[in-house]
Amino acid sequence: MAEPLQNSMATVLAEKIRHRIVEEQLPEGHVFMTEGQLAEEYQVSRPVVREAVSRLRALGILDVRQRKGLVVQRPDLMQLLSDSIPLLSVSRQEQRELGMLRYVLEIGAIELAVKYATEDQLDRLDQIVAEMEQYLERDDWEQEVELDLAFHSLVLEMTNSVYVAGMQQILAKYFQSISEVGQSDSGQKTRIIWEHSELAAAIRSRNLEHARVLIRMQFQSLVSEGEGNKKGA
């Protein structure tokens, strides 16, 4: 069988299997069938079945168990995104798109953070700000970057959404990995501490509008860069 045709048939078969799992609401751990049974039921060759199963395994939809066959799995969305985003963002345009996605995520989540933040989370946020101030005074910029990530991860944790918090961490770590760690002057240090301290205070006082203004200030550059490139196009 020609390779393009085999790939096409594998794509169709993978979609049929995925649709069947969804349609029949098969639970995690359900023994689906063997590769031989798939080949017989869908009238395709073993190589086509193996290729289709390989794709579904990569997505975390199926797993192969010895003496059982194919077992239904539940995909780990955060793991899929974590593995995929660095590969998707090879161009400047894709990086800008991811930056805008992070901006929308942070802005949209602040309302839930203000609403659901617990006293323990608020205390932890204040502690992070205090640590940021200490490390900036020592010019420990790398540690400050780590604390900034911890600060915003905690803000997104306040939403009580595993997906929101997980997505933010993936995007934040990605941008951290491609950014160059530099030094900051005294004015920048003062601004960084003020922005984070004010945001922590706004969340504690449940002041949503002030929190929105502050979070926009911190992430405006992600949108400004994209808008500037569009105007220049």
Predicted local distance difference test score (pLDDT) of residue 233: 41
Count structural domains, the chain.
2
Average pLDDT over all residues of the chain: 87
Alpha-helical segments (H) within 27-161:
35-42, 46-58, 77-88, 92-116, 119-137, 141-157
Tell me how long the chain is: 233
Q: Mean pLDDT lowest for which of 61-65, 152-156, 211-215, 218-222? A: 218-222
Residue with tokens 């974590």: 82
Domain that holds residue 135: 79-232
Q: Of 36, 16, 34, whose CA–CA distance to 24 is shortest?
A: 16
Q: Mean pLDDT lowest for which of 18-32, 86-100, 113-127, 176-190? A: 176-190
Q: Do 194 and 156 share a structural domain?
A: yes
Taking the C-alpha atoms of residue 213 and residue 204, their distance in angstroms, rounded to an integer, is 15
Q: Do 209 and 113 share a structural domain?
A: yes
Taking the C-alpha atoms of residue 177 and residue 118, their distance in angstroms, rounded to an integer, is 30
Crossing angle for the helix pair 162-178 and 92-116, nearest 10 degrees? 140
Taking the C-alpha atoms of residue 12 and residue 48, their distance in angstroms, rounded to an integer, is 10
The answer, yes or no, to whether residue 148 has pLDDT greater than 70, is: yes
Alpha-helical segments (H) within 59-91:
77-88
Q: Do 89 and 52 share a structural domain?
A: no
Decide if 154 contacts 106 (C-beta within 8 A). Answer: no
158-167 pLDDT, tens digit each: 999 999 989 8
Instruction: For residue 69, give the 3-state DSSP assignment.
Output: strand
Q: Do 99 and 209 share a structural domain?
A: yes
For residue 149, how far is the Cα from the chain centroid? 13
The answer, yes or no, to whether residue 33 has pLDDT greater than 80, is: yes
The answer, yes or no, to whether residue 208 has pLDDT greater than 60, is: yes
Q: Which of 14, 38, 72 is the last residue of a domain?
A: 72
| pLDDT category of residue 35 using cuts at 50, 70 and 90 | very high
The answer, yes or no, to whether residue 228 has pLDDT greater than 70, is: no
Decide if 47 contacts 87 (C-beta within 8 A). Answer: no
Q: Do 126 and 189 share a structural domain?
A: yes
Q: Give one word for 60, left, alpha or beta, with left for phi > 0 and alpha for psi -120 to 50.
A: left
Q: Do 155 and 117 share a structural domain?
A: yes
Predicted local distance difference test score (pLDDT) of residue 182: 55
Kindly report the CATH number assigned to the domain that includes residue 23. Answer: 1.10.10.10
The answer, yes or no, to whether residue 183 has pLDDT greater than 70, is: no
Q: Which of 48, 72, 96 is the last residue of a domain?
A: 72
Predicted local distance difference test score (pLDDT) of residue 232: 45
